[in-house]
């Protein structure tokens, strides 16, 4: 019985954040379960994932039409949230998220947006 319920409701929205472009980006139960199960260190980072969409430090061009939002979580680690958004449909969704130490590699990608410097 529980499996049927999970399957029926797996794409219900768990959370939403507005991107820097003002597009609502959805985090579904299915995607959050994927993130938390495949990246054990992400279990406590639910709100950080949403905050990385709404307040990233950088957004880089991803693969295909993906956007890669990045936000530091420590001196050596960043949270990378991979998502898609459509201005035409005013909709977006999170694909995955994980913590990485590969900031220099990410910075080789095309920079799409950067958080303004505070004076």
What would the pLDDT profile of 36-88 be if each residue is shown by its tens digit? 999 989 989 999 999 999 999 999 999 999 999 999 999 999 999 999 999 99
Phi first, then psi, for residue 27 (nearest 5°) are -120, 110
Give Dmax over CA atoms of the chain in angstroms.
57
Domain ranges of the chain: 2-110
Distance CA 12, CA 119 (A): 41
What radius of gyration, in Å, describes the C-alpha atoms of the chain? Answer: 15
The pLDDT of residue 88: 95
CB contact at 8 A, 59 and 113: yes
The average confidence (pLDDT) of the chain is 90
Distance CA 85, CA 78 (A): 21
What would the pLDDT profile of 2-37 be if each residue is shown by its tens digit? 333 344 445 666 899 999 999 999 999 999 999 999
Is the pTM higher than 0.85?
A: yes
């Amino acid at each position: 019985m529980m499996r049927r319920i999970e399957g029926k409701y797996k794409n219900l929205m768990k959370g939403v954040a507005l991107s820097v472009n003002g597009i609502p980006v959805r985090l579904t139960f299915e995607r959050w379960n994927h993130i938390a199960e495949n990246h054990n260190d992400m279990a406590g980072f639910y709100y950080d994932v949403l905050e990385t969409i709404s307040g990233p430090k950088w957004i880089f061009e991803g693969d295909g039409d993906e956007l890669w939002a990045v936000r530091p979580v420590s001196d050596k680690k960043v949270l990378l949230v991979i998502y898609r958004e459509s201005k035409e449909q005013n909709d977006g969704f999170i694909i995955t998220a994980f913590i990485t130490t590969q900031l220099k590699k990410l910075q080789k990608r095309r920079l799409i947006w950067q958080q303004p410097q505070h004076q």
